[in-house]
């Protein structure tokens, strides 16, 4: 029989009082992902945006496989190429380069040589005169490359996308406010609109 009713709950002698070091002390709570995951997330996001841009160009009627004019103009010296080629061609090339470097960086490291650029052009990008089925296969290959980096990134990709979309939304808000401010300064708002603008300006300063 115990001397004290609380003695039955006393387990002090059984406790292991060894010092413990919490792993959270050595982790970045805001970014708990590895360097490999963070880099893969960045590469995958760049590829997503490049895919969206090239798909939009294709949907708008641009076809690099039948673009004879720009195919010829791109052979000009660099000093003339930017002047001679069209806006859609230049947009396509920008997205193409961004996607390709995002794919080659984790595969080859810091240095990308000419051989690898030729390889990725042959593997992922439409060339002049190629058949429709080849074009579709290359578009599918680009998507698979994006998914590969996204898979390596894991949850780091979801975190990055959320942060980038929040930044895009903030930019839209700031740009819209800037337009309204210019209109207010130029006297282009009526009395009611000006009152609403001043209230919005006051709220933003809080």
Handedness of CA 136, 142, 145, 146 (dihedral sign): negative
What is the distance between the alpha carbons of residues 124 and 138, in angstroms, rounded to a whole number? 5
Query: For residue 5, what pLDDT is reported?
Result: 52
In this prediction, residue 169 carries a pLDDT of: 62
**pLDDT score, position 45:** 92
The pLDDT, as a whole number, for residue 49 is: 93
pLDDT at 79: 85
With a cut of 50, which residues of the chain have pLDDT below it? 6, 8-13, 15-28
8-state DSSP, 4: S
- State how far the Cα of 107 lies from the Cα of 110, in Å rounded to an integer: 9
The confidence score (pLDDT) of residue 68 equals 94
30-73: pLDDT as tens digits: 667 888 888 889 999 999 999 999 999 999 999 999 999 999 99
Distance between CA atoms of residues 184 and 127, nearest Å: 50
Check residue 23 and give its pLDDT.
39
Task: Supply the pLDDT for residue 144.
Answer: 94
pTM over 0.75: no
Residue with tokens 């590469």: 43
* Placement of tokens 């209230």 in the chain: 199
Whole-angstrom Cα distance, residue 182 to residue 50? 33
The span from the CA of 53 to the CA of 99, in Å, is: 10
Long-range Cβ contact pairs of 18-21 (< 8 A, separation 24 or more): none
pLDDT at 18: 43
Distance between CA atoms of residues 36 and 91, nearest Å: 29
> What are the start-end ranges of the H helices in the chain?
35-59, 68-73, 78-84, 87-108, 114-124, 132-153, 155-185, 191-205
């Amino acid at each position: 029989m115990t001397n004290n009713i609380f003695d039955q709950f006393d387990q002090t002698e059984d406790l292991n009082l060894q010092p413990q070091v919490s792993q959270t002390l050595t982790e970045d709570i805001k970014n708990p992902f590895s360097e490999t995951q963070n880099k893969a997330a960045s590469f995958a996001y760049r590829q997503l945006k490049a895919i969206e841009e090239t798909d939009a160009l294709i949907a708008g009627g641009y076809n690099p496989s039948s673009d004879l004019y720009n195919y010829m103009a791109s052979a000009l010296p660099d000093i003339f190429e930017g002047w001679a080629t069209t806006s859609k061609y230049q947009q396509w090339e920008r997205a193409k380069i961004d996607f390709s470097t995002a794919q080659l960086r984790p595969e080859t490291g810091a240095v990308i040589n000419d051989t690898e650029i030729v390889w990725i052009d042959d593997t992922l990008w439409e060339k002049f005169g190629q058949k429709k089925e080849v074009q579709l296969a290359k578009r599918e290959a680009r998507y698979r490359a994006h998914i590969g980096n996204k898979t390596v990134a894991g949850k780091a990709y979801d975190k990055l996308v959320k942060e980038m979309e929040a930044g895009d939304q903030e930019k839209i808000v700031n740009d819209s406010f800037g337009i309204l401010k210019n209109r207010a300064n130029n006297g282009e708002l009526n009395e009611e609109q000006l009152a609403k603008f001043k209230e919005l300006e006051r709220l933003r300063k809080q």
